[in-house]
Amino acid sequence: MDLAYLRAHPGQLPTFLTHQRIRETPVSGGDICTASRLTLDDGTSIFAKTWPESAATPVPEGFFAAEAAGLRWLAEPAAVPIPEVLASLDGMLALEWVEPGTATGAAAERFGRDLAALHRAGAPAFGADWPGYVGALPQDNTPSDGPWAEWFGRTRLAPYLRRSVENGALGAGDAGIVERVIGRLDGYGGAEPPARVHGDLWPGNVLWSAHGRAYLVDPAAHGGHRETDLAQLALFGGSPFLDRTLAAYQEVWPLADGWRHRVPVHQLHLMLVHTALFGAAYRESVLAVARAALSV
C-alpha cells in the first residue's frame, strides 16, 4: 500500500494492518485514542488513531467521522495548516503525518495571524452540520441562530455541568456557582456572529511542525465565539509565546473591548468537560474559572 493506493482505497487500511503489511510504530496520541505512525510502501508516513481495544465501551457512533468533518471544514479557508484526512472509517482515522518541531516566536506570530483568518471565515450558524464530540463526550452541534449566550449556556455549559454532578466531580454548591455564570452569560458583552472555531483548543491540540508552522489537530470544530478558542489557548500553562500569538491575532482582527475579562467565561466549557470526563481532579479548576467569571 502506497499513498496513492490509500487515497483510492481507504477502506483497505485495516486489512493491511491486520495482516501486518504496514510498519506500525506507537506514538503519543492523547488521553482518548491509541495512536500510531504508519509507514507505507513508498516511504510515506501517516498518523493513525484507533479506539483502544482495552476501552470499556465500543467506539461511539460517528466519533471519527465527526473529527474528520471538523478537520475538513477547518481546512476549507486555507488559513491555519490542517492535516489532510486520508481515511475516515468507523474505527479509525488516518491523517497526513506532520513532522513535529519546536515552537518559536515567529511561528507563534504566524499562528496568531492564521487563526484570525480562520475565525474570520465564519460559520453559517452556531453549532455544525454534523454530530459533535469533545474528547469522548457527545457535543450538541444542532445549528442555532443564537443568540450566542443562550446557545453557549444550553449546549456548551449545562450538559457538562450535569454530567459533572452526576459523576460526583461537582457537588450541589459547586453547581450553584456555575449556574450563576450561566445565568449571567448575556451580560458579559462581546456578542459576535459565529466564527469558524476549533472548539477544543487547549495547547496540546496545537502541533508545532518542523517547518515552522502551527497545525491544528483533534478539533471539536463548530460555529462558535472566537474568544473561546483564544481563552482555551491559555489553559494548562498556556501555548508557547502566547502573548505574541495574541498580539499578531489583534493586528489582523482586533477583539472586542473587554475580551481579557471574559477569558474565564470562555474557559469554563473546557474545564467542565474535564470534570465530566476525568472527575473531581479538575473540580478546583472549574471553581476557579467560575469564580473569576463572576468577579467580572
pLDDT single digits (tens) 210-227:
999 999 999 999 999 999
| pLDDT tens, residue by residue, 163-201 | 999 999 999 999 999 999 999 999 999 899 999 999 999
Which positions are catalytic? 200
Over residues 45-60, the mean pLDDT reads 87
Is there a single domain that holds both residue 158 and residue 117? yes
Q: What is the pLDDT of residues 130-159, one digit of tens each?
A: 999 999 999 999 999 999 999 999 999 999
Write down the pTM of the prediction.
0.95
Same-domain status, 131 and 170:
yes
Last residue of a domain, one of 44, 78, 96: 96
Can you give the CATH number for the domain in which 92 is found? 3.30.200.20
23 and 153, same domain (yes or no): no
Instruction: Using a pLDDT cut of 90, give the percent of the chain over it.
Output: 86
**How many domains does one find in the chain?**
2
> Looking at residue 71, what is its pLDDT?
98
Among the three residues 96, 127, 154, which one is the final residue of a domain in this structure?
96
Query: CA-based angle 104:106:109, to the nearest 5?
Result: 110
Grid cell for residue 21: 503489511
Q: Are residues 125 and 60 in the same domain?
A: no
User: Domain range for residue 217?
Assistant: 105-294
Same domain, 277 and 161: yes
> Do residues 130 and 240 lie in contact, with contact meaning Cβ atoms separated by under 8 Å?
no
Average pLDDT across the chain, whole number: 95
**Better-predicted residue by pLDDT, 273 or 25:** 273
Please check whether residues 62 and 207 belong to one and the same domain: no
In this model, does residue 30 exceed pLDDT 70? no
Same domain, 52 and 134: no
